[in-house]
Amino acid sequence: MSTKDTDRGYLKLLKEINLLRKKPSIKVGLIGPNKHKNTKAVTMVKMGTAHEFGSKNQNIPQRSFMRTTFDQRKRSWFLKTKKLKSMVLSGKTTVSRSLDTLGITLETDIKSKIQKEDPKWPSLSPQTIKRKRGSTKKLIDTGQLKNSIRYIKVMNK
């Protein structure tokens, strides 16, 4: 009499656990060398940094959109990460899909911060409002800064 070994997902789960052991992660922010449409000499990373931390040289006040989003959302991001890890370990999803879910969440939250604006951000100067044809929307002129925020998965080998 012979017995047949039936794999009920063990090998797939083992593969996902091994991926988790390698501590995969996501990076979110202004990733890449994208040049600003209006000022080709400036990358979106430099533009975003000037707004995030302020720039006395360029007379740009600090309007943090990444650090403050992290401070406000870190608890919910932690809980989401914990839930996704549990789903991976129970075989309901994969590490890759979990990272995509988390990356989209962080990306969306940061973009939302820009879109909704922080009430603590300083008002635009009259010169900036004039240049923007009357718009008082902070951090949004062409929309390129907001649309340049993305995430990437880092799958350690």
pLDDT digits (tens, 9 = 90+) for 52-86: 999 999 889 999 999 999 999 999 999 999 999 99
> To the nearest whole percent, how much of the chain has pLDDT over 90?
62
Q: Which residue has the tokens 């990460």?
A: 81
Is 2 contained in some domain?
no
Is 45 contained in some domain?
yes
Is 1 contained in some domain?
no
For residue 135, give the H/E element and its range: none
- The residues, any chain, with a CB within 8 Å of residue 129's CB and separated by 6 or more, are 135, 136
What CA–CA distance (Å, rounded) separates 80 from 85? 9
Is 74 contained in some domain?
yes
Is 95 contained in some domain?
yes
AA identity, residue 157: K
CA–chain centroid gap for 93, Å, is 21
pLDDT digits (tens, 9 = 90+) for 35-58: 777 676 788 898 999 999 999 998
Is 5 contained in some domain?
no
Q: What is the DSSP letter of 62?
A: -
Is 3 contained in some domain?
no
Determine the structural domain holding residue 122 and report its residue range.
Answer: 11-34+41-154
Answer yes or no: is pLDDT of 1 > 70: no
Is 24 contained in some domain?
yes
- Tally the domains of the chain: 1
